[in-house]
Chain A
């Protein structure tokens, strides 16, 4: 070990340079310009979270308008084509502008922190992927001023072809898919490069936090699935404007091609939206149960297994199309197979809670709510995979209920758990526990009121994507109940919005590690300094913070003297 004196004697050139200058670097722009120009993964992460939550609220308003229209039969509040616009905007917004990018937002903020890196591998590309997302969303929402898309978030050809929908709405939708797709692809490569190359010393694959694992697998899935829809929308664009006939039967094309290309992307997309949510749950449960995650390797293997199988199930969205029975049977069995790794995860999470010492904080409420509701979505998914049963339930409210149990009861509850869990790290302040729990119960009760009855509506024959339904077939009561539930859900979300705004100004100081976390983001300050860590600790287990706390307690590590230090 060279002392500083020896190094000076050896000449300035051989002196080790600090990896990152904390102070005294170039003058950086301040104010709002600093947000435009930033390449800091944390600020980009914050912008991701902020922008996607705005889109979430927009998509929520669209959903509430739909529920208002459906509250009674024969309602004339919204006409048919406006309603078709609402379903298209709502689905597209929630999937492409909320769930997928909000997960990228959490990944942006926390992957470098959790692996002990000082930024993403390509900071400027990282900024590019955020701005592409934002402008994709703006281009899409601009269609409100002329003609919003009305072919659903799936934009099935030939309905989406220029012969049937010549207006620009579909083009705005295509533009959105191109821009957000590019954003996701660039982001995915960035995550892959970061996670493969920039982990702290000692963090082997077996010591990587599960959330980082899920973001890695999410990235690979995006890289594999996105080209399919990118190709499909490009073909649709040329069909619409340049005289090709990829999906036009009269020109020798094939409308079924659209469905295959769309769902070859669309089903992996479901796992793109749920796997990082699984990752968050796998981080949160052990912290609040005061127990290690049960079966780390099984959970990681199950995640990879789900991703692999998720590429092989797309045609279960097409069980009612003219398709040979042997094909239907294959896709039923492959869809069933996914239930095995998913079941493994659920039982591992239950076993993590089992005989723990559970701290009933808001993140745990949302995580437990996730478990309770996601199970219903998983089970109804198995029922839908039985293709003769799907012949009845396909495109009914049963499917609407199923997908919301997976994407809202699953992903969104996990996203809220993550928000409450990581807010203290991002802002340095704690959120109000009282408001958090009020928000949870309103959302939990409202969500189940909205969507549980929709299973029954579907089973009694109500198709999805209809602005009106016949009177006197017994659907009025359940629809009204669902509408009331949706407004409770909306109020619950707004309580969290209020909680965030209030806590940003007047929340209690959080300190570095308010939850006694397991992973490295809790090692640094809240909010973290621009370089994240002055000293990156050596990682010796999957729970480095637990090791550090133990060292501080036993006196083998100095508690003071570093910028970032745990609260013993």
Chain B
């Protein structure tokens, strides 16, 4: 008879030790993990463009608030389940039906947290949405080059470089502004100059797609009949990859894209080369048509 409470006590303390160990492990994981596992607790999608940086920062602030609420709720839950479990011969629980001040308290508290989140969002919104100014090393608008006007807030210090993005099952087509008569375009890979604000005008010619290069900021859906806008500004030369983010059919997962950022003179040279190549291939096309027609007449 004496043994029984003793054994129960031992089991209880073992259980308690286990719970403490578990909570400790979770805590340690939360403290240590961000260093070891960057990208596990916050978006890795940063480093390419200032808007992506700001989104990442905004996420981290809201995550910090969220984790406090998470720990509070889970802590209360686990504590109640351990502390208030049924014990033989324990007292009948008090039949409490509510507590108005307490309930008003957590209603107001939840509301206040959300107001804080709204304020923080609007503080960062402008930096995320409005294009930054092109830097001194960026592409400068040459005389006679017309950049289309943009509906998103004007970039300070000169017009951004405007590229038209067209989603098609299952690839992306990019159209660049150029001084010559030839429309310069490319597929799959977009080439842009560094330190230059690039403004994208995004649409689709068939079904809905979504333009997304994670390191260069958020998504913009490509919807037929609509033009969506986003922007980025890359400091360092490099390649940034992405994949279509709206289910668009069989080839959706393979509808990838990349942005290659190069120094300005390299960009200008690439545009020239691309224009020449396009003109040349059109001439070849015309020549082969004439040849075919001549052959048919004979």
Shortest CB-to-CB span from A390 to chain B, Å, is 8
Assess whether B251 is in contact with A80, with CB atoms less than 8 Å apart: yes
- Shortest CB-to-CB span from A103 to chain B, Å, is 24
Check B85–A358 contact: CB distance below 8 A.
yes
Cβ-defined contact, A353 with B77, below 8 A: yes
Partner of B93, one of A356, A390, A393: A356
B42 / chain A contacts, CB cutoff of 8 Å: 459
Judge whether A456 and B55 touch: CB under 8 Å.
Answer: no
Neighbouring B residues of A396 by C-beta, 8 Å:
245
Q: How large is the interface on A (under 10, 10 to 19, 20 to 34, 35 or more residues)?
A: 35 or more
A344-B107, A394-B245 are known contacts. Are A355 and B93 too (CB-CB below 8 A)?
yes
Q: How far is the CA of A294 from the CA of B229 in the complex (A)?
A: 49
Q: Which of B37, B106, B223, B241 contacts A321 (CB 8 A)?
A: B223
Q: Which of B56-86 contact A (CB under 8 A)?
A: 56, 58-59, 62-63, 66, 69-70, 73-74, 76-77, 80-81, 84-86
- Min Cβ gap A11→B in Å is 50
> B77 contacts A350, CB within 8 Å?
yes
> Are A368 and B81 in contact, CB atoms less than 8 angstroms apart?
yes
Q: Please tell me if B254 contacts chain A, counting CB pairs below 8 Å.
A: yes
Whether B94 lies near A355 (C-beta < 8 A) is: yes
**Of A339, A344, A389, the contact of B103 (CB 8 Å cutoff):** A344
User: Is B253 in contact with A80, judged by CB distance below 8 angstroms?
Assistant: yes
Instruction: Give which listed residue, B70, B86, B106, B224, contacts A158 with CB less than 8 A.
Output: B224
- Count A/B pairs, Cβ under 8 Å: 256
A255-B225, A396-B245, A467-B253 given; A358·B80 CB < 8 A = yes
Q: Looking at A321, A357, A389, which has the most chain B CB atoms within 10 Å of its CB?
A: A389
**Chain B residues positioned under 8 Å from A332 (CB to CB):** 118, 121
* A296 interface residue per 8 A CB criterion: yes
Q: 0/1 per residue, A133-165, Cβ < 8 Å to B?
A: 000000000000000001110001011000011
In the bound complex, what is the Cα–Cα distance between A159 and B242 (angstroms)?
21
- Interface size bracket, B side: 35 or more
Contact across chains for B217 and A379 when beta carbons are under 8 A apart: no
Those of B78-126 within 8 Å (CB) of chain A: 80-81, 84-87, 90-99, 102-103, 106-107, 110-111, 114, 117-118, 121-122, 124-125
Once A156-B208, A386-B117, A389-B62 are accepted as A-B contacts, the answer to whether A355 and B84 lie under 8 Å apart by CB is yes
Q: In the complex, A391 Cα to B121 Cα: how many Å?
A: 13
CA distance A262 to B107 in the complex (A): 32
Instruction: Determine the chain A residues whose CB is within 8 A of the CB of B76 once the complex forms.
Output: 350, 354
| CB-defined contacts of B45 to chain A, threshold 8 Å | 392, 459-461
Tell which of B95, B114, B246, B253 touches A292, judged by Cβ atoms closer than 8 Å. Answer: B95
Judged by a CB distance under 8 angstroms, whether B279 is at the interface is no
Known contacts A164-B207, A392-B219, A460-B39; A340 and B110 CB within 8 A of each other: yes
Give Cα A254–Cα B208 distance, bound, in whole angstroms. Answer: 12
Whether B77 pairs with A368 at a CB distance below 8 angstroms is: yes
Q: Is A375 part of the contact surface with B, judged by Cβ < 8 Å?
A: yes
- Interface residue? B155 (CB, 8 A): no
B211 CB → nearest A CB, Å: 9
The distance from the CB of A232 to the nearest CB of chain B, in whole angstroms, is 15
Q: Tell me, in angstroms, the Cα distance from A81 to B110 when the chains sit together.
A: 44
Contact between A159 and B248, CB atoms less than 8 A apart: yes
> Counting chain B CB atoms within 10 Å of each CB, which of A292, A358, A380 scores highest?
A358
Closest to A462 in B: B243
Q: Which of A292, A354, A382, A459 contacts B44 (CB 8 A)?
A: A459
A461 CB contact (under 8 Å) in B44, B74, B117, B224: B44
Q: Of B80, B92, B95, B118, which contacts A350 at CB under 8 A?
A: B80
Q: Is there a chain A Cβ closer than 8 Å to B287's Cβ?
A: no
**CB within 8 A of B70: which of A291, A296, A379?**
A379
From known contacts A290-B92, A350-B76, A383-B63, infer whether A463 and B250 are also in contact, taking CB-CB under 8 Å: no
Say yes or no: A256-B84 contact (C-beta < 8 A), given A156-B208, A332-B121, A340-B110.
Answer: no
Decide: B218 and A392 in contact? CB cutoff 8 A.
Answer: yes
Residue from A158, A256, A371, A466 within 8 A of B206 (CB atoms): A158
Chain A residues with CB under 8 A of B198:
none
CA distance A80 to B96 in the complex (A): 56
Give the docked Cα–Cα distance between A384 and B229 (Å): 20
B187 lies within 8 A of chain A by Cβ: no
Cβ of B139 < 8 Å from any Cβ of A? no
Q: Are B93 and A357 in contact (CB under 8 A)?
A: yes
Is A346 among interface residues, defined by CB-CB distance under 8 A?
yes
User: What separation, in Å, do the CA atoms of A320 and B117 have in the docked complex?
Assistant: 20
- With contacts A322-B221, A386-B121, A388-B124 taken as known, whether A343 is within 8 angstroms of B207 at the C-beta atoms is no
The smallest beta-carbon distance between A301 and chain B, in angstroms, is 10
Question: Could you give, for residues 540-561 of chain A, a 1 whenever the CB lies within 8 Å of some chain B CB and a 0 otherwise?
Answer: 0000000000000000000000
Contact: B114 with A392, CB < 8 Å? no
CA distance A165 to B206 in the complex (A): 12
**A568 proximity list for chain B (CB < 8 A):** none
Determine the chain B residues whose CB is within 8 A of the CB of A393 once the complex forms: 43
Known pairs A87-B247, A298-B98, A392-B55 / 7 extra A-B pairs, C-beta < 8 Å = A84-B252, A297-B98, A356-B84, A357-B93, A386-B62, A388-B55, A456-B39
Q: Name B residues whose Cβ lies closer than 8 Å to a Cβ of A.
A: 37, 39-45, 52, 54-56, 58-59, 62-63, 66, 69-70, 73-74, 76-77, 80-81, 84-87, 90-99, 102-103, 106-107, 110-111, 114, 117-118, 121-122, 124-125, 128-129, 169, 206-208, 210, 212, 214, 217-221, 223-229, 241-254
